[in-house]
Amino acid sequence: METDSPPSESIDELRQRLNNMKKLMADRQAAQYETEERRRPNSSIIDGSFLSVVFGIALVVILTVSVYAFYNLYNAILKKFPSKHTEL
């Protein structure tokens, strides 16, 4: 019967190959991260300044509608309860 033969590569060679593979994987992940970072700003038109403008416009619209509603309410109350003039 044959016994297991020793590996054809030494431990040092295996460690070197493992380190090379780790380095290749790290380089690949770094390259993938760089391409995602480069692509990210161009992939979306919605950024912080755009959202600020949108929320600012929404705030102006809400304030305008509120002022209009309270003005109409004030006029309705004045019509319902007119002040009595005594000078006539």
Q: Which residues of 12-49 are buried (b: 16+ CB within 10 A; e: fewer)?
A: eeeeeeeeeeeeeeeeeeeeeeeeeeeeeeeeeeeeee
Q: Does residue 22 or residue 7 have the better pLDDT? A: 22
Is the pLDDT assigned to residue 13 strictly greater than 80?
yes
Is the pLDDT assigned to residue 83 strictly greater than 70?
yes
Q: What is the pLDDT of residues 20-70, one digit of tens each?
A: 999 999 999 988 887 776 665 555 778 888 999 999 999 999 999 999 999
